[in-house]
Amino acid sequence: MTAFTLAHLSDPHVPPMPEPAWRELLGQRVLGYINWKRNRHLYHRRDMLDVLVSDMQAQAPDHIAVTGDLVNLALAAEFPRARRWIEVVGKPDNVSLVPGNHDAYVQGAPEKFIETFGDYMCSDDAAVPTFPYLRIREPVALIGVSSSVPTAPFMATGWLGDAQLEALDRLLASLADTHLFRVLLIHHPLRSEKWMKRLTDTDSLQVLLKRHGVELILQGHDHIHSTMWFEGPQRRIPAIGVASASSLAHGHKPAAAYNLFAIARDGERWRCEQTVRGFGDGNMVHELKRTLLA
């Protein structure tokens, strides 16, 4: 059987950020704007993002997952720019998206994000986006959830909430006997060393995953390469993070990269191989690592 190739990129923070009007700089945005002017504008680069996306498209993946943070301060002018960017990445049928905390930076931003990107977050049988959503691209089932909510200044926590968790419970139960490779897309990692960046109801989500299982979790938020393992009903589940898609290497954060997953049935089990491609030395994208996950 030919492998299905799933690409994964995250946290592009599509640069450059438009200059905000002073009336837009309230609450959380004030601190975010100061951080952008002092630091973030130095290492989020549009040229790197464009080169990375071009390299990803050259690999001809069957589908692309984007795990959030398309914008920076959720300014009104950022949304159409980010929409034009994701249209270059791929059409809605070929790209599945979930929002990040920066996409829900202030009150009203989650609704604006859904209005702008809803066709990238719709279930196959739905006309409007809801979470969780389900998209089946044989042999893969893509399950998107939203952990993104407006937060207080200095906080970047995420939350699914009871209604979404209950709907996810039902959805995972319905997929139990479908023999699909189930991929959960979420912005916030299920485990975080930073209290102010954590997924607050991760324990409840992990209970569902231990009951029903998925084959793979794709996450963003931390701007680092990461592999975490969580308990499933029969075997452990890998949760994979990736560097920001637009970032220069700085501090402990790596340069821009993306993941490729080659997924195929191997007898009674799935085989999944991860390839990381990104910027190493110089300004070229190349293979950084290859790992057999299952």
The predicted-structure confidence for 164-200, as pLDDT tens digits, reads as follows 999 999 999 999 989 999 999 999 999 998 999 999 9
Q: Dump pLDDT digits (tens) for 117-127.
A: 999 999 999 98
* pLDDT score, position 28: 87
Please say whether the beta carbons of 30 and 264 come within 8 A.
no
Return d(Cα 141, Cα 132) in angstroms, integer.
Answer: 12
Query: Over 70: is that where the pLDDT of 102 sits?
Result: yes
We find that the CATH architecture of domain 4-292 is 4-Layer Sandwich (3.60)
Both tokens assigned to 144 = 């998107």
Number of Cβ atoms within 10 Å of the Cβ of 282: 7
| pLDDT at residue number 134 | 98
Q: What integer is the mean pLDDT of 131-137?
A: 98
pLDDT (0 to 100) of residue 267? 85
Residues 6+ apart with CB under 8 A from 178: 141
Q: What is the DSSP string of 14-60?
A: -SSPPPPPGGG--THHHHHHHHIIIIIHHHB-HHHHHHHHHHHHHT-
Q: How far apart are the C-alpha atoms of 39 and 37, rounded to whole Å?
A: 6
What's the mean per-residue pLDDT of the chain?
Answer: 96
Cβ atoms < 10 Å from Cβ of 81: 16
What does the pLDDT read at residue 282? 73
Q: What is the mean pLDDT of residues 97-116?
A: 97
Q: What is the pLDDT of residue 203?
A: 98
pLDDT of residue 195: 93
Domain ranges, ordered by start, for the chain: 4-292
pLDDT at 275 over 90: yes
* DSSP helix/strand/coil, 231: coil
| pLDDT at position 170 | 98
Identify the band that residue 22 occupies on the pLDDT scale cut at 50, 70 and 90: confident
**C-alpha angle with apex 60: 14 to 182, nearest 5 degrees?**
80
DSSP string, 61-119: -SEEEE-S---SS--TTHHHHHHHHHHHH--GGGEEE---GGGG-STTHHHHHHHHHGG
Average pLDDT of the residues in 100-105: 97
Question: Which pLDDT band holds residue 222 (cuts at 50, 70, 90)?
Answer: very high
pTM of the model: 0.97
The enclosing H or E element of 3 equals none
Longest dimension (CA), the chain: 60
pLDDT-derived band at 1, boundaries 50, 70, 90: low
pLDDT for residue 232:
97
**Looking at the predicted structure, is the pLDDT value of residue 272 above 90?**
yes
Q: What percent of the chain has pLDDT over 70?
A: 100
**Predicted pLDDT of residue 130:** 96
